[in-house]
């Protein structure tokens, strides 16, 4: 180990880098556990990348070959079923973990000065993660995914002015076809990953440079701080191993089903819905009346969610009070309402639909 | 002055020459030329004839009706001295058409492959016999083939194109007012349209399926006699018919005067056969019309139905099991291939039923059942592969627990030393 | 080593930790490496089946073979033409066979007959047989799906 370090020392400023890394500290307090969720999300993303790369070795994009290649993968390739199920489960757990990470940071108001950019880069990654989920879901080219994609892109098409071009851009044509699959594959394995990595880099560097934040109400009251490297990092790794075990457990007992191949000419089966993390939006749109004042109901829904998304991304600039260190009662209220709304709508989406 | 004379002579020559020239180019058929101008029933044939196969072959009005088509003068063109016959007596139409169509050496000049026995056959048919008795309502050539716009039988527009035959026959046979007094049913077309044959002919345009003439004959049309039904169906269904004709039911039906295949399958309304027909425990079973509990036939039907039913269930069970396994990600293409044999057997058994021999049926069924069973078992074994996954998970969990424990101890150790 | 000869606690912990990490690494790498090794059937969806050598098929003979999960039939006619079809009868899905005496393809279930181009010529079958592509590589006969 020492020889390697000496070799490096002669060439790059390795000591300065190590010293810099050792500066990062984690404040210790009651809400300490929430700190793990950023790392869990990161770990799950790494699992996605690794399993994704492995899947790429056997997956064949294209309406004639995609389904069959996944079928081949899970039946004939050794541990193919495992890699595929890991990928599907990890995707879902990652989105869930991202939700938790998002809300915990929201409630703790960590987005306040000087961490606005961290929040924004994180929000961008969240939206990209949803894009990963939406594009990846179609890739096995099975019946459920085909119709879920059709419904999802139909909704995009409702937006005025940009809706139709957006629909054509997403679908690669008027309808969901092999061209759509082609595009989604490109988004999923190259375009989104590269953009995501950019924002991930920004996010991680900012945290490294600025250190982990403490909840607003505890600022100034932090008595103990833990070194990130190696103390917190080792704890992170332990948690990650448990998460990995959970993933394998899920893959063995609840393997991801393949279903039947997509048939564009068949009628849609009953109960089509998107992935669970979109269900709350889907159900909300279903509840809205066809017409609200002079606008189409669906449009109001989409507009509402878009507005909410934009406000959420730019939230640091809306909540000036927190940046000044003042109490902001609006945050827990909005946060709680949002969580309850999402939960209720998701449950309704599964029970009514 | 000379120039004016020149022009006058030119005009005169033109006025004489052009009509003569035009006249020599036109084919001489005054019948069409005059009758095409008429608007009533007399004009209709001239308008229809352009689609007629006879006209196409150069056999025009005068070839059938006589007269002189070269003359413009109706007195000459339609004079009996010139052979004009006019419209034939409706009862004598078969003979009218037969002048050519019953003459092989004449027909050889036009279509050597066309049969020339229609007239002889017609006299043996029910329509022909009624016609001889003077019944003007009985069908003759024109009733089915139309007149003046007759097309070849393989022309989809023809009234006797196979897919159009049911409609052509129904023109009379489904008309209750027309058929009053003949005391035969008028629901044949309705029933036929619902049958497998009807759907094949009328909807799928499958020329392999029978229309009215394939079972009844066309020119010699007569419903087959009770004892010959089996042999008529035999033409397309040789396997089942052969089994039936060798079975105990052949003589039994003949003695009872029961119409062979029709007894179970109906004549016009032939629907896809159902296993319920010979499910003798079921009150709706056809066998119960003659058999009752305890007799040989009853027991035979019971044995056959049990054999088929148990095999079908076994097949369904194995098939759905394999489908579930495949959706779970287990490789079962070899097992699915073997199940094809069982499916073949099911089709075969339902054909073998026509032997009315329970032993034959039971032998085939038992062999297929054994195969379906082995496929099912092989599928279960394949699914057991999934059990290996649980073992793997167990091992991995143990290793993870050890690793996490080691990590926790390491953290503790580090923090102890850093605290000291 | 401690004076009384036992391994020190720290060293034990180190070995324990190292061993655990090693076991973990193996339990992750083993499936990944098995996964990376290509399976015997290299491509997804049966695209190529070798049914035998040319000499194994005398003229006027036919042989049934497995094509994925479906039955296939390869025929060498009396004038040495090779043709192949999915052997599923288009009537009620029975498996057809080649009849040397009739010199055509026959279905035992209801006496359906097909000529050597797969066309349905007699009996109940409503459609021709699905053709497959035949490629002769050297002396091997390869059957694959027919690309339109």
Tokens for C139? Answer: 């002396």
Q: What per-residue confidence (pLDDT) applies to B26? A: 52
pLDDT above 50 (res C45): no
Min Cα separation A227/chain B (Å): 10
Residues forming beta bridges with residue C80, ordered by sequence position? none
Look at residues B65, B67, B123 and name the one whose alpha carbon lies nearest to residue B94. B123
* Vertex C17 angle, CA C11 and C22, to 5°: 125
Residues A72, C31: C-beta atoms closer than 8 Å:
no
Residues of C in contact with A58 (CB under 8 A): 44
Residues forming beta bridges with residue C53, ordered by sequence position? C140
Q: Are residues C110 and B239 in contact, defined by beta-carbon separation less than 8 angstroms?
A: yes
Residues forming beta bridges with residue A291, ordered by sequence position? A296
**Residues contacting residue C129 through CB under 8 Å, at least 6 positions apart:** C73, C85, C86, C87, C88, C89, C90, C96, C105, C114, C118, C120
Which residue of chain B comes nearest to C95, CA vs CA? B344
Min Cα separation C83/chain A (Å): 25
Considering only the beta carbons, identify the residue of C17, C27, C108 that sits closest to B410: C17
SS3 C30: helix
Q: Which ipTM did the prediction report?
A: 0.85
Considering only the beta carbons, identify the residue of C34, C44, C45 that sits closest to A78: C34
Residues B393, A249: C-beta atoms closer than 8 Å:
yes
Which residue of chain C comes nearest to A64, CA vs CA? C45
Residues of A in contact with B403 (CB under 8 A): 241
Which residue of chain A comes nearest to B324, CA vs CA? A259
CB pairs under 8 A between A and C: 37
Considering only the beta carbons, identify the residue of B389, B397, B415 that sits closest to A245: B397
CATH of C49-145, one of 2.102.10.10, 2.40.50.140, 1.10.287.130, 3.40.50.300: 2.102.10.10
| DSSP designation for A257 | P
Residue A88 domain flag = yes
Q: Which residue has the tokens 């419903």?
A: B223
Tokens for A315? Answer: 């939230």
| Chain A interface with C: residues with Cβ < 8 Å | 54, 57-58, 60, 65, 68-69, 71-73, 76-80, 82-83, 241
Residue A250 domain flag = yes
Considering only the beta carbons, identify the residue of A75, A237, A259 that sits closest to B407: A237
- Where residue B201 falls (left for φ over 0; alpha for ψ -120 to 50; beta otherwise) is alpha
Q: How many folded domains does chain A comprise?
A: 1
Residues C93, B344: C-beta atoms closer than 8 Å:
yes
Assess B393–C contact: CB distance below 8 Å, yes or no: no
Spatial separation of the C-alpha atoms in residues B59 and C55, rounded to whole Å: 60
Cα B141 from chain centre? 24
Residues forming beta bridges with residue C136, ordered by sequence position? C141
Residues of A in contact with C39 (CB under 8 A): 76-78
Residue A29 domain flag = no
Assess B207–A contact: CB distance below 8 Å, yes or no: no
What is the average pLDDT across A4-9? 88
In the stretch 41-60 of chain C, residues with CB closer than 8 A to chain A read: 41, 43-45
Q: Are residues A45 and A95 in contact, defined by beta-carbon separation less than 8 angstroms?
A: no
- Alpha helix locations (H) across B26-140? 30-35, 44-48, 53-56, 61-65, 74-77, 93-101, 104-107, 118-124, 126-132
**Residues contacting residue B38 through CB under 8 Å, at least 6 positions apart:** B46
Q: Which residue has the tokens 């005054």?
A: B30
| DSSP designation for A352 | H
Q: Are residues B166 and B202 in contact, defined by beta-carbon separation less than 8 angstroms?
A: yes
The Cβ-side half-sphere exposure at A188, using a 13 Å CA radius, reads: 25
Residues B407, A238: C-beta atoms closer than 8 Å:
yes
A70: preceding bond cis by omega (within 30 degrees): no
Distances, alpha carbon C28 to alpha carbons A110, B408, C21, in Å: 36, 20, 11
Spatial separation of the C-alpha atoms in residues A159 and A153, rounded to whole Å: 11
Tokens for B261? Answer: 């295949």
What is the average pLDDT across A229-251? 93
* Vertex B118 angle, CA B114 and B120, to 5°: 135
Considering only the beta carbons, identify the residue of A71, A230, A258 that sits closest to B414: A230
Which domain CATH number covers A95? 1.20.810.10
Residue A293 domain flag = no
Residues A81, B414: C-beta atoms closer than 8 Å:
no
Assess C35–A contact: CB distance below 8 Å, yes or no: yes
Greatest alpha-carbon pair distance for chain A in Å reads: 74
Residue A132 domain flag = yes
- Listed as own residue / partner, the contacts of A216-222 with beta carbons closer than 8 Å and 24 or more positions apart are A216/A108, A216/A109, A216/A112, A216/A322, A216/A325, A216/A327, A216/A328, A217/A327, A218/A27, A218/A29, A218/A31, A219/A325, A221/A29, A222/A27, A222/A28, A222/A29
Of the pLDDT bands very low, low, confident and very high (cuts 50, 70, 90), residue A161 is confident
Residues C108, B348: C-beta atoms closer than 8 Å:
yes
Assess B80–C contact: CB distance below 8 Å, yes or no: no
Residues of A in contact with B328 (CB under 8 A): 255, 257
Tell me the per-residue pLDDT of A76-128, one tens digit each, with 9 for 90 and over. Answer: 888 999 999 999 999 999 999 999 999 999 998 899 889 999 999 999 999 99
Domain ranges of chain C: 1-37, 49-145
Min Cα separation C124/chain B (Å): 7
In the stretch 96-135 of chain C, residues with CB closer than 8 A to chain A read: none
DSSP code string of A79-95 = THHHHHHHHHHHHHHHH
Q: Compute the residue count for chain B.
A: 420
Residue A157 domain flag = yes
- Most A CBs within 10 A among B327, B329, B391, B406, hence the mutation to make, goes to B329
What is the average pLDDT across A124-153? 94
Burial A132-141 (b: 16+ CB within 10 A, else e): bbbbbbbbbb
Burial A193-224 (b: 16+ CB within 10 A, else e): beebeebbebbeebbeeebbbbbbeeeeeeee
Residues of B in contact with A238 (CB under 8 A): 404, 407-408, 411
3-state secondary structure B283-350: CCCHHHHCCCCCCHHHHHHHHHHHHHHHHHHHHHHHHHHHHHHHHHCCCCHHHHHHHHHHHHHHHHHH
Spatial separation of the C-alpha atoms in residues A112 and B277, rounded to whole Å: 80
Considering only the beta carbons, identify the residue of B237, B406, B413 that sits closest to C20: B406
Q: Are residues B145 and B52 in contact, defined by beta-carbon separation less than 8 angstroms?
A: no
Assess C133–B contact: CB distance below 8 Å, yes or no: no
Q: Are residues B400 and A245 in contact, defined by beta-carbon separation less than 8 angstroms?
A: yes
Assess C124–B contact: CB distance below 8 Å, yes or no: yes
Residue A286 domain flag = no
Spatial separation of the C-alpha atoms in residues A274 and A256, rounded to whole Å: 16
- Alpha helix locations (H) across A172-296? 178-186, 192-210, 233-253, 276-287
List per-block mean pLDDT (blocks of 10 residues) for chain B, which spans 420 residues: 82 76 62 87 87 89 88 86 88 93 93 93 94 94 93 92 94 94 91 94 88 89 76 85 90 86 90 90 89 90 92 92 76 82 91 92 92 88 78 93 91 77
What's the start-to-end Cα distance of chain C, in Å? 76
Residues of B in contact with C114 (CB under 8 A): none
Of the pLDDT bands very low, low, confident and very high (cuts 50, 70, 90), residue A296 is confident
pLDDT above 70 (res A291): yes
What is the average pLDDT across A13-41? 86
C104-107, strands of its sheet edge to edge: C97-99, C104-107, C112-114, C120-122
Look at residues B249, B307, B302 and name the one whose alpha carbon lies nearest to residue B293. B302
Assess B341–C contact: CB distance below 8 Å, yes or no: yes
Residue A317 domain flag = no
Helix, strand counts (H, E) of chain A: 16, 4
| DSSP designation for B27 | -
Residues B408, A242: C-beta atoms closer than 8 Å:
no
Assess C108–B contact: CB distance below 8 Å, yes or no: yes
Q: What is the sign of the dihedral through the CA atoms of A34, A36, A39 and A45?
A: negative
Distances, alpha carbon C23 to alpha carbons A348, B60, C11, in Å: 45, 100, 18
pLDDT above 90 (res C6): no
Range of the domain at A237: 35-215+226-259
Assess C24–B contact: CB distance below 8 Å, yes or no: yes
Min Cα separation B416/chain C (Å): 12
């Amino acid at each position: 180990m020492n020889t390697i370090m000496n070799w490096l020392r002669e060439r790059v400023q390795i000591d300065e880098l190590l010293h810099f890394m050792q500066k990062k500290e984690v404040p210790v307090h009651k809400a300490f556990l929430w700190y793990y969720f950023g790392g869990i999300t990161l770990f799950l993303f790494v699992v996605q990348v690794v399993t994704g790369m492995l899947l790429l070795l056997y997956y064949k994009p294209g309406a004639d070959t995609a389904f069959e290649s996944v079928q081949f993968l899970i039946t004939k390739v050794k541990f193919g079923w495992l890699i595929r199920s890991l990928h599907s489960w990890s995707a879902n757990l990652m989105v869930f973990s991202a939700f938790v990470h998002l809300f915990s940071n929201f409630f703790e108001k960590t987005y306040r000065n000087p961490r606005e950019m961290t929040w924004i880069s994180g929000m961008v990654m969240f939206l990209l993660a949803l894009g990963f989920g939406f594009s990846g879901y179609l890739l096995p080219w099975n019946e459920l995914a085909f119709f879920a994609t059709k419904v999802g892109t139909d909704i995009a098409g409702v937006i005025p002015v940009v809706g139709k071009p957006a629909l054509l851009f997403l679908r690669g044509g008027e309808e969901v076809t092999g061209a759509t699959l082609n595009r989604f594959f490109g988004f999923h394995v190259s375009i989104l990953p590269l953009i995501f990595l950019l924002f991930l880099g920004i996010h991680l560097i900012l945290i490294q440079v600025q250190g982990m934040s403490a909840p607003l109400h505890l600022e100034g009251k932090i008595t103990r701080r833990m070194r990130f490297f190696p103390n917190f990092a080792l704890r992170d790794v332990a948690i990650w191993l448990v998460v990995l075990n959970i993933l394998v457990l899920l893959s063995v007992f609840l393997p991801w089903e393949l279903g039947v191949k997509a048939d564009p000419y068949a009628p849609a089966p009953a109960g089509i819905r998107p992935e669970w993390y979109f269900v709350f939006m889907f159900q909300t749109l279903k509840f809205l009346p066809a017409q609200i004042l002079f606008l189409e109901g669906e449009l109001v829904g989409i507009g509402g969610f878009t507005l909410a998304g934009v406000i959420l991304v730019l939230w640091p600039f809306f909540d000036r009070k927190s940046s000044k260190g003042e109490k902001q009662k609006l945050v827990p209220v909005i946060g709680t309402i949002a969580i309850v709304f999402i939960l209720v709508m998701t449950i309704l989406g599964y029970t009514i639909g | 002055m000379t120039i004016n004379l020149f022009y006058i002579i030119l005009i005169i020559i033109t006025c004489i020459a052009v009509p003569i020239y035009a006249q020599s180019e036109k084919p001489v058929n005054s019948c069409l030329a005059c009758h095409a101008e008429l608007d009533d029933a007399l004009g209709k044939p001239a308008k229809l004839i352009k689609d007629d196969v006879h006209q196409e072959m150069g056999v025009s009005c005068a070839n059938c009706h006589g007269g002189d088509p070269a003359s413009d003068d109706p007195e000459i063109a339609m004079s009996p001295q010139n052979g004009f016959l006019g419209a034939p007596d409706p009862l004598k139409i078969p003979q009218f058409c037969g002048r050519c169509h019953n003459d092989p050496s004449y027909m050889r000049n036009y279509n050597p492959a066309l049969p020339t026995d229609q007239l002889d056959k017609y006299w043996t048919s029910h329509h022909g016999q009624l016609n001889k008795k003077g019944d003007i309502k009985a069908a003759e050539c024109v009733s089915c083939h139309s007149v003046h716009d007759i097309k070849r039988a393989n022309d989809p527009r023809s009234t006797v194109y196979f897919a159009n035959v049911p409609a052509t026959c129904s023109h009379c046979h489904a008309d209750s007012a027309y058929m009053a007094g003949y005391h035969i049913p008028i629901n044949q077309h309705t029933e036929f349209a619902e049958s497998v044959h009807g759907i094949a002919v009328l909807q799928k345009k499958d020329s392999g399926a029978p229309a009215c003439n394939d079972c009844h004959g066309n020119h010699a049309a007569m419903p087959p006699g009770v004892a010959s039904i089996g042999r008529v169906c035999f033409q397309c269904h040789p396997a089942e018919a052969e089994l039936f004709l060798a079975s105990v039911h052949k003589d039994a039906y003949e003695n009872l005067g029961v119409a062979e295949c029709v007894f179970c399958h109906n004549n016009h309304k032939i629907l896809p056969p159902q296993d319920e027909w010979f499910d003798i425990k079921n009150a709706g079973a056809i066998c119960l019309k003659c058999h009752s509990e305890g007799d040989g036939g009853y027991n035979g039907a019971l044995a056959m139905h049990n054999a088929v039913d148990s095999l079908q269930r076994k097949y369904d069970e194995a098939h759905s099991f394999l489908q579930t396994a495949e959706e779970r990600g287990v490789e079962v293409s070899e097992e699915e291939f073997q199940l094809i044999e069982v499916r073949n057997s099911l089709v075969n058994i339902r054909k073998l039923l026509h032997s009315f021999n329970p032993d034959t049926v039971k032998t085939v069924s038992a062999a297929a059942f054994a195969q379906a069973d082995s496929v099912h078992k092989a599928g279960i074994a394949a699914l057991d592969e999934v059990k290996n996954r649980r073992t793997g998970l167990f091992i991995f969990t143990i290793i993870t627990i050890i690793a996490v424990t080691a990590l926790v101890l390491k953290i503790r150790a580090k923090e102890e030393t850093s605290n000291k | 080593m401690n004076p009384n000869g036992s391994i020190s606690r720290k060293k034990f912990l180190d070995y324990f930790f190292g061993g655990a990490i090693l076991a973990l690494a193996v339990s992750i790498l083993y499936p990944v490496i098995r996964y990376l090794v290509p399976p015997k059937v290299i491509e997804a969806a049966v695209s190529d089946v070798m049914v035998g050598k040319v000499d194994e098929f005398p003229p006027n003979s036919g042989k049934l073979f497995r094509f994925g999960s479906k039955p296939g039939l390869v025929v060498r006619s009396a004038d040495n033409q090779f043709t192949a079809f999915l052997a599923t009868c288009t009537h009620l899905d029975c498996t057809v066979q080649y009849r040397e005496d009739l010199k055509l393809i026959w279905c035992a279930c209801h006496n359906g007959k097909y000529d050597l181009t797969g066309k349905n010529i007699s009996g109940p079958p409503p459609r021709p047989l699905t053709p497959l592509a035949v490629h002769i590589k050297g002396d091997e006969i390869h059957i694959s799906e027919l690309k339109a």
